[in-house]
Structure 1
């Protein structure tokens, strides 16, 4: 994994770090039950096709909430793997 951004001084409810990972690393995290895929495309595209087990959280929803992820929408105990393609 390659760090893209580190916020080690982040508040408890903020992101502690952002990493760029390969597809193989994402697969390993999900297969081990340590990661979850989050599809940021709009709902229409998600409904048409998405990665197995992925959750839908459109970027427009995040933007409307000023960059905040709606509480309870994502599992707090897993690595969140965001994708848009």
Structure 2
């Protein structure tokens, strides 16, 4: 079962540099809605992975922090519609 849009959109937007709520909603309602929903599901998975990674104690703390930040950064780009086709057609 796929999560409803509200669960996919339940994330902190304060750290997103290019968040445009109108663009994100339009992406969900438009031709690329299924792709954007998939990106949001991937972002949820990346958030969970970042949280799990940040709790690791078996590796260098700087590595762990950097890896967690990279996962969060990828999740942010997916949520900001950065990887959706701009013209409505896959590149």
- By the TM > 0.5 criterion, same fold? no
Report the structure, 1 or 2, having the larger helix content.
2
> Structure with the greater relative contact order (CA < 8 A, sep ≥ 6): 1 or 2?
2
Based on CA coordinates, which of the two structures has the bigger radius of gyration?
Answer: 2
